[in-house]
Amino acid sequence: MKILITGASKGIGLATSRMLAEQGHDVVGLARTEPDDFPGLFRKIDLSKEAARKTLFAELADEHKFDGLLNNVGLVNPAPLDEITLEDFDACVDVNLRCSLQATQAVVPHMKAQRHGRIVFTSSMVVAGVPYRTSYAASKSGMVSFTRSWALELATHGITVNAVAPGPVETELFNTNNPPGSESRARYIEGIPMKRVGLPEELAAANCYFLVGQSGFTTGQTLFVDGGYMTGKSAL
Architecture of the domain defined by 2-225: 3-Layer(aba) Sandwich (3.40)
What is the domain partition of the chain in residue ranges? 2-225
> Is 188 one of the annotated active-site residues of the chain?
no
Query: Measured between alpha carbons, how far is 229 from 188 in angstroms, rounded to an integer?
Result: 9
Which one of the listed residues 136, 188, 209, 229 is annotated catalytic? Answer: 136
Instruction: Sort 158 into a burial class: Cβ within 10 Å, 0-12 / 13-18 / 19+.
Output: middle
Bridge partners, 70 (sequence order) = 5, 120
Query: Measured between alpha carbons, how far is 37 from 201 in angstroms, rounded to an integer?
Result: 16
Angstrom CA distances, 129 to 58, 95, 172, 186, 236, stand at 35, 20, 22, 16, 10
Q: What angle do CA 14, 18, 22 make, to 5 degrees?
A: 170
The model scores a pTM over 0.75: yes
Beta-carbon-side half-sphere exposure of residue 21 (alpha carbons within 13 Å): 18
Q: Which amino acid is at 173?
A: L
Please report, in tens digits, the pLDDT of each residue of the chain (236 residues total): 999 999 999 999 999 999 999 999 999 999 999 999 999 999 999 999 999 999 999 999 999 999 999 999 999 999 999 999 999 999 999 999 999 999 999 999 999 999 999 999 999 999 998 889 999 999 999 999 999 999 999 999 999 999 999 999 988 878 887 888 898 889 889 989 999 999 999 999 999 999 999 999 999 999 999 999 999 877 66
